[in-house]
Amino acid sequence: MTSRALSALLGSGVAAGVLVPVLLWADGATRPGYSLWHHGASQLGTGDRAWLQTINFVLGGLLLAAFAAGVRQALRGGRGAVWGPILLAATAAGLVLAGLVPTDPALGYPPGQPNVVTTAGRVHQLAGFLLFAGLSAAAFVLARRLRETSRAWSRYSRVSGVLVIILAFAAGIAYRLDTLGLWRPAPAGLLENLSLLAGFCWLVAVGVRLRRTHPHRALRSAAPGQGR
């Protein structure tokens, strides 16, 4: 693979990290009846302009899949060279699936539609699990590789992984409290968006770092035959 092709693949991660949240928040801030505080990001895949988030999620997932391939090529061997790209690919699959299979109406959005639970909604929940769990796990796995050249980058990667999963879990709790009528309006949307922000900022940062260091040996393991 040429250096230019690899740079393009790694740049796909940067593009996905910018595209997905920017379109989500721009659409959410201007969508009638939608609240960035209250409603989940996936609910933008329903109601008016649902097509926009379908394109956003699918395109973002494809870019992230290209990034996973680029990370595999850039790391070549050593810590994180196998599981890092696999987890990034799982994240990409979750994002694409979330775009193709919309979530159920919930928390009063889309306006006028009752809360329901469908098979499609359950599939969408699985997609969300792949997205958040895969992104968090990838940050932890690649933190071990980043530690070989920078403790600060390793710490940043671990902190990002923690934030992604904790904030996503907190968003789920807030959603449940809201549906039970115990906290209305609960900040489920805010917490989910913060989780996405932590994860996609990490994608951008790691993508930029890998592009800058490749093809130098800065992120290559001293034992290239190992692929943990």
The angle formed by the CA atoms of residues 78, 15 and 130, to the nearest 5 degrees, is 65
| Cβ–Cβ < 8 Å for 195, 171 | yes
| pLDDT (average), residues 72-92 | 90
CA distance 42 to 167: 16
User: Is 158's pLDDT higher than 50?
Assistant: yes
Residue 120 has pLDDT above 50, yes or no: yes
The pTM for the full model equals 0.89
**Residues in contact with 108: Cβ distance below 8 Å, sequence separation at least 6, in sequence order:** 33
CA–CA gap between residue 223 and residue 27 (Å, rounded): 46
Q: Give 149 or 118, the one with higher predicted confidence.
A: 118
At 78, phi and psi to the nearest 5? 90, -165
Q: What percent of the chain has pLDDT over 70?
A: 93
The pLDDT of residue 150: 84
> Is the separation of the CB atoms in 34 and 28 below 8 Å?
yes
CA distances from 9 to 56, 138, 158 (A): 18, 17, 23
- The dihedral of CA 75, 16, 37, 40: what is its sign? negative
Does the pLDDT value for residue 145 go beyond 80? yes
- The average pLDDT across 141-165 equals 93
pLDDT beyond 70 at 115: yes
- Segment among 3-7, 34-38, 129-133, 171-175 with least mean pLDDT: 3-7
Q: Of 142-146, 184-188, 193-197, give the range with the top mean pLDDT.
A: 193-197
Q: How far is CA 169 from each of CA 98, 112, 115, 173, rounded to the nearest angstrom?
A: 18, 28, 21, 6
Note the pLDDT of residue 112: 83
**What is the pLDDT of the chain when averaged over all its residues?**
90
Per-residue confidence (pLDDT) for residue 22, from 0 to 100 = 96
pLDDT tens-digit readout, 25-44 = 999 999 999 999 999 999 99
pLDDT at residue 117, as a whole number: 87
**pLDDT for the residue numbered 219:** 44
- pLDDT value of position 217: 41
